[in-house]
Structure 1
Amino acid sequence: MELSLLSLFMLGVVALTQTRAGSHSMRYFHTAMSRPELGDSQFITVGYVDDQQFVRFDSSSESQRMEPRAAWMDKMDEEEPNYWEEQTQIYRKNAQIYRRNLETLRGYYNQSQGGLHTIQRMIGCEVSAEGSLRKGFYQFAYDGHDYIALHTETLSWTAADTGAENTKRKWEPEKSIAESYKAYLEKECTHWLKKYLVMGKDVLLRTDPPSARVTRHRGPDGEVSLRCRAHGFYPAEISLMWLRDGEEQLQDTEFIETRPGGDGTFQKWAAVAMAPGQEDRYSCRVQHEALAQPLSLRWEPEASSLWVIVGVTAGVLVLVTAVVAGAVILRRRNSGGKGGAYVPAADKDSAQGSDVSLTATGEAPGALELEGG
């Protein structure tokens, strides 16, 4: 598989920033964890539209209900009166299915009773600025390793190891399983993503320009580095590039991944090392969709107010652009043990007991038992 689900779940929101500007995504992350000390398991689901978490379910919570995680989801009672009750019932059932799937996968990998194990699933879609489907995602992991994924073009399953082959042998002959998920990704997922974008447009379609500055740092051995830091921007996709004498400088450059700022915006920095006295040869270029043009920043020893000046300037540039163009810039962006996951079962008995249709409220076709064929 191209991207490890472990990375997706560890990075959370950050993993959702890898899409092109103008596109939008909706993804659900499901995690089931065994709790041997309690003789039980915990099941958690979080849903994201772009970088914003909008729903959450936790089987260990007092209410065991699907709950809103974005203010704009409070409108859902008016849009879909039965939404929250339907989602709650769906995920309570899924929690039971995942509990059984943990036992199934423990058997696949000859793991002894007890021990901490996890099943993870990521499902979702990404649409272009025009609203057409760009790609769909349907992947599973077990104990932090890839397990199995759906290839929507060929309606085939990619198994990561011999354990996952058990599931592949069960699902692949039953073409209706892959077909139902493909149909969900192409129709239901995109439909609900567009609906959520309309409901949360004030948050999801906004653009906040970055404030940025360059600082100088000296290491214990006298080495010098310049750090270019941007913060307060939305959406999360941004480019920071160091240039030396106008040429892109990748060597001796250190980047950190874009990170949530804690207030609904994001932050990022890039640092470059150099010999002392060379600082004036370097500039940092900052590109973001909320900027009318890239920012070019240099280290200025006495410019203590640069942070504020750059932020104000960026805001003015965006305002001027909006007035001249008469349009709002739309935003976007995308995402131990062996592999394992929960998925649709093909046998008649298990399908009868656990095929929960979720398409009415934007989730995928039902969670089925993970049994080998």
Structure 2
Amino acid sequence: MGVVVLLLLLSFGTHLVYSGNHILHYYFTAVVSDVTHGLPQYSVVGYVDNLFFGRYSSDTRHPELLIPSLKGLNDLIKELTINAHDKENADIIMMKLIMSSLNKTGDGAFHVFQIKYSCELREDGGIHGNEDFAFDAKEFMTFDTENPQYLPLVQEALIVTQKWNGIFAKLKTVYMENVCISHLKFYLSHLKKDLEKKVSPKVKVSSSESESGIKLHCRVYGFYPRDVEVKWIKNGRDEIYSEESAEILPNPDGTYQIRVSVEVTPEEGATYSCHVDHSSLENPLVTPFEANNGKLLYILIAVGVTIILFAVVLGVFIYRKKSGIKWSRTAGEEERTNGHGPSCNRWRCCPRDKRRMGIVVFLLLSCGAHLASCGSHIFQYSTTLVSDPKQGLSKYSVVAYLDNLMLGTYNSDKLGPEPLTPSHSSFELYDDIEELTKIIYLKESLDKMMMKLITSSLNKTGVEDFHVMQIKNGCELSEDGSIRGNEELAFDAKDYITFDTANPEYIPVVPGALIAVQKRKELYSKLQRTYVENVCISQLKLHLPYLKNVLEKKVPPKVKISSSESESGTKLHCWVYGFYPRDVEVKWIKNGRDEIYSEESAEILPNPDGTYQIRVSVEVTPEEGATYSCHVDHSSLENPLVVPFETNNDGKLLYILIAVSVTVVLFVFLGIFRYRKRSGNFLLKCKYWFSLDNNRMYLHIVILTLSVLFVLPNTICNIFREMNWPETSRGSS
């Protein structure tokens, strides 16, 4: 029922605004249920000429004005608050009256009462009003403004209309013709600039094959205000009518978009064009559909690729025969698995003639195009809901990932999702961003329902404690084309529910989740499977081509080795950082063959520059003659990177350098002393020293000595480190 209600609310915003006319819309929703599934018990949204200017809900008990020019009007806010409270009480009474007449009071079911109310000021000064009622997603009754009375639309509404006709009908007429119209005029005076804003539409024409012929698509986007006329014309005069309902959809930037599609049977000599008429245009915008020569292009590309591949294969065959190049697997490169599936096998070229490396480089570059498609891909959402946004967190936030690449973010404080990758800022993915916006809005509503359901089942509804619900869900497209979905849910930092895609159902992880699972199972199990197999996978496939360069980027890791003392002996740390992509294998090896397993869980963490880091630590008991090394395997490396742990000679080196420095300083001091003794006029040759007494001179020498003792050894150590000497500083972690 929650999904139906959301769709009804969205469909309320589809009224057209006629030229010169102005309309004030209000949409009221009241919910009666033991569990409201995340919806407020009562809510109102207001529009002026389809400009969304304000809202109110029983959760906040305070109207929220969304247009900057209205936010400073304190008198208006006070009046709206009083009106909203009165209207809320009246509508709840109406709903109880309807439920009583339908014998639905106290049945425990989920019921929704909706009112769509508007008043219109026409260009000629005429006034018109409208009011429609719906109960449980079905039309219930309407108000006839010509003959002021309520009319039943279903048999069950007859009793209600009989009770309301009379005083209620007369009051409604007075309200429409006076109060509502005065409100409309007030809003128009303050929203003039917002309503007069005009943005011209952009148009893209495309085609696709259909069962009966060809489907032509005209996508019109980025326009404001909302009203637009889009139609397909054949041969410059005949309009082609679409069997599909074209819906005008909002964009995150406040503009709108629409796509009109028609099916045609190709005729020789026939022309087709998309005609767009909008208030921002002086003349209608006509975009012709060019005959689809794409097939010829694809044929030419296929022929060209075939010829190139044939030439490459023939060249390789001749070259190998003449030069004796052989291909062999890199030592130690067995097939391994990473977090997503089997890694690509790497190969190395072993030429016997270095003068012929040009063709080898070309072949390696050609191989790269194939290797890029190797492996599985994962599309995933990480969602967080909090019960108290006053803690500094957004009440609802989502982060989208593709193969651990952060694509975009969304939170309830913003109007829409925010793409983070450069390719998503282009208009090529504009359709995807709009589709993502709709999915995120629907997902937000469903997830809020889930949190309400969980808090209700745990008897935490109304409790002022801080609660957090986290959801991780997504889908995986394997290398063999198979599809797998996953969903995990945690409540207050504890595992709560998981989803079994093999047998589509939710499984409780803790006993307390049993009630929530039972309530959610019937509706959402099938919905989750449909989401995985259709919506999620289509999103994944849509993103992959645009992010190919980003996903193929490879940055080799850097490694630092250090050690620290532990209760049982020594702790060795291998810090691997600055690598991309995310998958990496890090392990400690003893004596070149025995792997040392860590008792600590090593987590791969993101860096601000988009790369990753990980630290793997193991505890060892020092043994004479034993060697330890950190082995790092990453897709950017031809061979695993092996960094040995050297025994802690850094401290010994420091002591040796200090000793040498002290010796040097003593010899210098002794030389100066002997020179002064032999040459009595030494101080006369240096005016600076001559101005100092002996005590001050000795003080300078002591300071110089200490400076040398502290600075010189560390400087030399740093120089050695810059020369890539192994870093084994004991005590660091």
Deviation at 1:293, TM superposition (A): 0.6
Aligned to 2:200: 209
State which of 69, 72, 79 in structure 1 corresponds to 2:69.
Answer: 72
- Judged with a 3 Å threshold, the aligned counterparts in structure 2 of structure 1 residues 95 and 32 are, in CA distance, closer, same or farther, namely same
Q: CA deviation at 1:254?
A: 4.0
- Residue 54 of structure 1 aligns with an amino acid whose one-letter code is F
SS at match of 1:298: strand
Q: 1:56 maps to what in 2?
A: 55
Within a 5 Å distance, the mapping from 1:242-253 to structure 2 comes to 242-251=232-241
2: CA distance, partners of 1:297 / 1:283? 5
Greater helix content: 2
TM-score (norm 1): 0.69
Equivalent residues in 2 for 1:50-199 (5 A)? 50-61=49-60, 64-77=61-74, 81=75, 83-111=76-104, 113-129=107-123, 132-174=125-167, 177-199=168-190
Q: Kindly tell me: are residues 251 and 166 of structure 1, through their superposed partners in 2, closer, same or farther at Cα, counting changes over 3 Å? A: closer
Letter in 2 for 1:145: K
Report the Cα distance in structure 2 between the residues aligned to 1:295 and 1:120, rounded to whole angstroms: 39
User: CA separation of 1:8/1:129 partners in 2, compared to 1, >3 Å: closer, same or farther?
Assistant: farther
Moved more, 67-76 or 245-254: 245-254
Contact conserved, 1:133 with 1:190, CA < 8 A, in 2?
Answer: no
| 1:258 counterpart = 2:248 | yes
Distance 1:287 1:10 in 2: 24
- Contact 1:42 1:95 survives alignment (8 Å): no
Q: Distance in 1 between matches of 2:250 and 2:269?
A: 29
1:228 maps to amino acid = C
Deviations 1:192-239 (A, max 9, x none): 2122112111111222221112123235x6943221111111222211
**Distance (Å, rounded) in 1 between the aligned partners of 2:272 and 2:127:** 38
* Aligned AA (2:204): R
For normalisation by structure 2, the TM-score amounts to 0.36
- TM superposition shift of 1:149: 2.0
* Aligned counterpart, 2:394: none
More relative contact order in 1 or in 2 (CA 8 Å, sep 6+)?
Answer: 1
Match of 1:238 in 2: 228
**1:172 CA displacement:** 2.1
Structure 1 vs Structure 2 CA RMSD: 3.0
Q: Within the alignment, does 1:25 sit opposite 2:23 as a pair?
A: yes
Which residue does the alignment assign to 1:339?
A: none
Secondary structure of the structure 2 residue equivalent to 1:264:
coil
- The verdict on how the C-alpha distance between 1:128 and 1:86 changes in structure 2, with shifts beyond 3 A counting, is closer
Q: Quick one: which amino acid aligns to residue 138 of structure 2?
A: H
The offset of 1:251, in angstroms, is 4.8
Per-residue displacement from partner, 1:290-338 (whole Å, max 9, x unpaired)?
1101111113479xxxx99xxxxxxxxxxxxxxxxxxxxxxxxxxxxxx
- Give the whole-Å Cα distance in 2 for the aligned partners of 1:90 and 1:217: 52
Contact kept? 2:212, 2:263, Cα under 8 Å = no
Partner residue, 1:313: none
> What corresponds to 2:9 in structure 1?
9
* Native 8 Å contact 1:256 1:268 kept in 2: yes
Distance 1:147 1:106 in 2: 12
Distance 1:110 1:253, change over 3 A: closer
Contact kept, 8 Å, 1:254 with 1:271, in 2: the verdict is yes
| Matched residue SS, 1:249 | strand
Identify unmatched segments of 5+ residues in structure 2: 294-425, 428-733
2:284 aligns with: 294
Aligned residues: 288
CA-to-aligned-CA distance 1:113-172 (integer Å, 9 cap, x gap): 211101111222112245x23421122221122222221221122112333222222222
Give me the whole-angstrom Cα distance separating, in 2, the residues matched to 1:6 and 1:279.
46
- Call closer, same or farther: CA 1:278–1:66 in 2, change over 3 Å: farther
Whether contact under 8 Å (2:28, 2:114) holds in the other structure is yes
Among all aligned residue pairs of Structure 1 and Structure 2, give the percentage whose two residues are the same amino acid: 25
Deviations 1:57-108 (A, max 9, x none): 11123xx21111222221322xxx2x32332243334434444444332222
The question of whether the paired residues in 2 share the 8 Å contact of 1:215 and 1:226 is answered with yes
2:30/2:42 contact within 8 Å kept: yes
**Separation in structure 1 between the aligned mates of residue 89 and residue 269 of structure 2, nearest angstrom:** 60
Tell me whether 275-284 or 19-28 shows the greater mean CA deviation.
275-284
Q: What letter is aligned with 1:110?
A: N
Residue identity matched to 1:198? S
Corresponding residue to 2:216 among 212, 226, 229: 226
CA distance, structure 2, for counterparts of residue 229 and residue 125 of structure 1: 32
Q: Distance in 1 between matches of 2:83 and 2:254?
A: 29
Cα 1:73/1:50, change in 2 over 3 Å: same
Written as runs of structure 1 = structure 2, the 5 A alignment for 1:315-330 is: none
